A and B are shown apart, each in its own frame.
Chain A
Amino acid sequence: MRPREWDRWLAVLSPVGLLLVWELLSRTGVLDGRFVPPPSVIGQTLASLTRTGELPYHVGVSVERILAGFVLGAVPAVALGLAMGLNRSVRAAVMPLVTALYPIPKIAVYPLIIFYLGIGEASKVGIVALSIFFLVLLNTMAGVLGLDRAYVNIARAYGARPIDVFTTIAWPGALPSIFTGLKLGMGFALIVIVGAELLGSDAGIGFLIWRAYQIFAIDVMFAGLLITALLGWLATAGLDWLERWALPWRA
């Protein structure tokens, strides 16, 4: 077996092994099955929640909020990040604000967001947008600043106007960094949306987990966590695929 193939097997074997150990400990009574249900029970819970349509509904709600928040946060972040990377004055004007606002835990802003946007969808989408905005902004700017000055010179030597430099140099050149920002942002979006749904919501994965806590349905709480992990994994794989597709020029 070649080393790379072995790595791929290991990547599958280690989580499967962990589940097996967990199942065994739970069944033999080392772990109390009432508090730590074995994976097989969690699997059954997942299956029945899927059959009743409850799980797909809550997952759908969360995914919709994340996607909407992603678009709403990433698009202006990329535009402003490119401008900050290209223009010293824009950078000087915006950077102090960003440095001050970036470290605020976004979940701490959530009450204020609810106050302004209401308890409905807008506040959920808003907090996702806010939480990824700074990550994408800073990574986009860093991507432009890291570009070899030679690329801009090539453009200018052939008569590029500022808008041409924006679209043909800064945007494609910063795209690898933009993807780094999006991937980091995806992790934050999941953290923040589940957190927000725990606090004040009547749908979504976070709500599912919170309600399960209130009715002492520990298997459902584990099912919600498992689904969140799966979503994170899928989102990362999706972004990786999108990155390979969008950046065929990377070595």
Chain B
Amino acid sequence: MITEVSPQLASIEVRGLSKSYPSRRGVLRVLQDVTFAVRPGEFCALIGPSGCGKTTLLHILAGLTTPTSGAVQIPPHDRGRLATALIFQGVSTLPWMTALENVAYGLRLMGVPAPDRRARARYHLARVGLSAFADAFPHQLSEGMRQRVSIARALATDPAILLMDEPFASLDEQNRLLMQDELLRIWQEDRKTVVFVTHSLDEAMRLADRVLVMSAIPSRIKSEVAIPFGRPRDFRIIRQDPAYGALSARLWDELREEVVHSIQP
């Protein structure tokens, strides 16, 4: 029997976050004074030019990297849940574990007993439509299926906050559309707080409630754009909305000079 903890939604508050790395020519400042907040249950997209530190920011939120200065505030979470679960781009599954073991991996590290974690892993594998592939190894799955496995792994730990780092970047266009639909369908069920890093304007507009635009490095949050489309959202309908084109143009305006700046610093 699966007993899901009722979703307790968490907010994120980021204040004055900076991160620099030592480099051959002094110090490379990646993030400088990044400040923003995400409301509980909000789907927030983060876009910016390549190499602007989006991944670094996400890794700081996930606790993988410590910031040079500044603070991240995430409310204390229940025992038996993760505060954040991170979905990686590219290599996102462990090749020596079956799909089911991959999904159960987070629970295993949390110390969930084996029968319980297998049941929960099966449930979440079913949510992403991969029940038939429980015993398959990653090399036997397509890139899209592997990405589903990693989403199921994140959801299985019932995190308060879901962090996604360009999870669909390595998929082809058709699979990407399919995965976006599926992500929205799953997200609609428990409406977790999401921070979704992408470099695709379309992806940001399709998925998010709000888009944060980052500048070239040293990056800060340059501006934010609210996405007015309702929920549940159907991409085929919002694409015909006249507001879609205007929004796309506006986001590109915001982003364009940063992209130019990042290739001609």
Contacts and interface: CB of A to CB of B under 8 A. Distances in A.
Interface of A: 148, 150-151, 153-160, 164, 168-169, 172-173, 175, 247-251
Interface stretch (B9-17, B42-50, B86-94, B245-253): B86-94
Contacts of B105: 154, 158, 168
B96 A153 contact: no
Interface of B: 59, 62-64, 82, 85-86, 88, 90-92, 94-98, 105-106, 108-110, 137-139, 153, 157
B94 A164 contact: no
A164 B109 CA distance: 7
A140 to B, nearest CB: 15
A157 B86 contact: yes
Closest 7 CB pairs of A and B: A150-B91, A172-B96, A158-B106, A251-B139, A157-B86, A249-B137, A249-B96
Given A151-B91, A154-B88, A159 B96 contact: no
Contact of A158 (B91, B109, B139): B109
B197 to A, nearest CB: 14
Which of B59, B90, B91, B96 gathers most chain A CB within 10 Å? B96
A153 B88 contact: yes
Given A154-B94, A158-B157, A249-B139, 18 more contacts: A148-B91, A150-B91, A150-B92, A151-B91, A153-B59, A155-B109, A156-B64, A157-B62, A157-B86, A157-B88, A158-B110, A159-B82, A169-B94, A248-B137, A249-B96, A249-B98, A249-B138, A251-B139
Contacts, number: 56
A240 B142 CA distance: 28
Nearest to A161: B109
A2 B246 CA distance: 62
Contacts of A169: 94
A50 to B, nearest CB: 42
A157 B85 contact: yes
Contacts of B157: 158
7 contacts: A148-B91, A151-B91, A158-B153, A160-B109, A249-B95, A249-B98, A249-B139
A54 to B, nearest CB: 45
B138 A154 contact: no
Contacts of A172: 94, 96-97
A158 B62 CA distance: 9
A159 B94 contact: no
Contacts of A155: 109
B94 to A, nearest CB: 6
A242 to B, nearest CB: 16
Contacts of B106: 158
B101 to A, nearest CB: 10
Contact of B92 (A154, A160, A168): A154
Contacts of B108: 168
Contacts of B92: 150, 154
Given A150-B91, A249-B138, A158 B96 contact: no
A248 B92 CA distance: 19
A136 B243 CA distance: 63
Contacts of A153: 59, 64, 88
B93 to A, nearest CB: 8
Nearest to A152: B64
Given A153-B88, A157-B86, A249 B64 contact: no
Nearest to A156: B64
B97 A249 contact: yes
B137 A157 contact: no
A175 to B, nearest CB: 7
